[in-house]
Chains A and B, each alone.
Chain A
Amino acid sequence: MKNLIELIVSFMIIGIGAYGGMATIPLIQQEIVNSRKWLSIKEMGEILAIAQMTPGPIAINSATFTGFKVSGIIGSTLATIAVILPSLLILTFFTPFIMDRFENNHYFIRFSCGIQVGVTSLIIFAVYSYGCGVIKGWFDLAIALIAFFLLVLSEKKLHPILVIVTCGILGLIFY
């Protein structure tokens, strides 16, 4: 029971901060790996890899997966609901107010500009913290750099899944 409540709280926190898939990663690491210790960093890496190769947002995929690890099908259902709950509540209560010409509302623009910058800091921090977790040697670093430069050089023309699978195949050959 305590586990289930912690699961709901953690995934609601993740749901609040999930500004786009990549910003979700440091939150998952903070909540699920560092603070609750439900998964190891290796397992988290596996989930992220799977989340990238299966349909749906990272937040939802990792909620379903972690929930299952913590307490089976009930856990995965509760975690999945918990992760979308904050945005559903915000949308339900606030859209009637901001719906109307929110794009020109200057309070809104100021706040969202700050959020963008905050999310940038979070992602850069995540490069370091997640990188330290999964990169164990020069060869790992080389794979990460290959992924990075493939994405930079192809600039959105190459689907991220192709990059992930390429690195997976490199892993299959060389590990």
Chain B
Amino acid sequence: MNLKQTKLQGQGQFQDSMPERVSVTAIFWTFFRVGLFTLGGGLAMLPVMRHEIVLKQKWLDNSDFHSMVSLATAIPGAIAVNTAYLLGRRLGGKQGLAAAVLGTILPSYIVILLVVWILSPFFKYPKVAAFLRGCSIAVAGQLAFAGLIFGRRSLGKWQHIIGFIIGLTLIGILKIHPIWGIISVSIFGFFFFPYKES
């Protein structure tokens, strides 16, 4: 019913009307499970969410799912939470989105609390400290890799490179708050980046 309706009306664009509702507890546990068993943040979570929601539970079709994910990535905030919000709302209205968001954040909240309570006293042991130090330096390498990926994706034209240099100057040299740096570059981009009608 749900899938047929979407295909008839939308061709991939999702409408705001409610399809058949999925039970709130089912939504909660699905997102909880996805949240608990995916390591490594939002982007790692998306394929697992797709597997659960599109392939296994068949609550949504693929193009609806992708449409929501691209909106979730375009909006500030953790991608996993944004995706959970949109999917939850689509599946079960206000209660659905509350269940989905809670289900997504609770696993990490609980796990971190357990880490703080149980494991953090061990952080000062030399062996543990050495391990964590190695890990935290690896994060620097990971950042550089993320910079490479982002740069390759977003710096296609010379105007983009000027925007990039403006951002780097504002944030790195003039020490403006990073948020203002991003906003400034996006305003610059709004006026000066080439845009082609597609």
Whether B167 pairs with A120 at a CB distance below 8 angstroms is: yes
Whether A56 pairs with B67 at a CB distance below 8 angstroms is: no
Whether B188 pairs with A21 at a CB distance below 8 angstroms is: no
Within 8 A of A (CB), among B49-69: 67
- A130–B142 Cα gap in the complex (Å)? 11
Given contacts A91-B75, A114-B193, contact A60 B131 (CB under 8 A): no
Whether B146 pairs with A22 at a CB distance below 8 angstroms is: yes
User: How many interface residues does chain A have, given as a range?
Assistant: 35 or more
Count of chain A to chain B residue pairs whose CB atoms are closer than 8 Å in the complex: 360
Whether B139 pairs with A45 at a CB distance below 8 angstroms is: yes
Interface size on B, residues (CB 8 A): 93
A123 adjacent to chain B (CB < 8 Å): yes
B18 adjacent to chain A (CB < 8 Å): no
Whether B130 pairs with A175 at a CB distance below 8 angstroms is: yes
With both chains docked as a complex, state the minimum distance between the C-beta of B24 and any C-beta of chain A, in angstroms: 18
With both chains docked as a complex, state the minimum distance between the C-beta of B129 and any C-beta of chain A, in angstroms: 8
| Inter-chain contacts of A15 with B (CB < 8 A) | 76-78
| Inter-chain contacts of A56 with B (CB < 8 A) | 35, 41, 80, 104-105, 107-109, 111-112
Complex interface bits, A56-73 against B, C-beta within 8 A gives 1, otherwise 0:
111111001100110001
Whether A114 pairs with B36 at a CB distance below 8 angstroms is: no
With both chains docked as a complex, state the minimum distance between the C-beta of A170 and any C-beta of chain B, in angstroms: 5
- A17–B77 Cα gap in the complex (Å)? 7
B13 adjacent to chain A (CB < 8 Å): yes
Given contacts A25-B143, A131-B140, contact A90 B77 (CB under 8 A): yes
Whether A55 pairs with B186 at a CB distance below 8 angstroms is: no
Q: Which residue from B40, B139, B171, B189 sits with its C-beta under 8 Å from A122?
A: B171
Within 8 A of B (CB), among A83-97: 83-84, 86-88, 90-91, 94-96
Q: Which residue in chain A gives the minimum CB-CB distance to B127?
A: A172
Tell me the dominant secondary structure on chain A's binding face: helix
Whether A130 pairs with B143 at a CB distance below 8 angstroms is: yes
Within 8 A of B (CB), among A73-108: 73, 76-77, 80, 83-84, 86-88, 90-91, 94-96, 98-104, 106-108
- A117–B135 Cα gap in the complex (Å)? 28
Whether A126 pairs with B179 at a CB distance below 8 angstroms is: no
B144 adjacent to chain A (CB < 8 Å): yes
With both chains docked as a complex, state the minimum distance between the C-beta of A106 and any C-beta of chain B, in angstroms: 6
14 A–B contacts from the bound complex (CB under 8 Å):
A16-B77, A20-B42, A20-B146, A30-B177, A55-B37, A56-B105, A102-B74, A120-B155, A124-B168, A134-B140, A159-B40, A160-B40, A163-B138, A175-B133
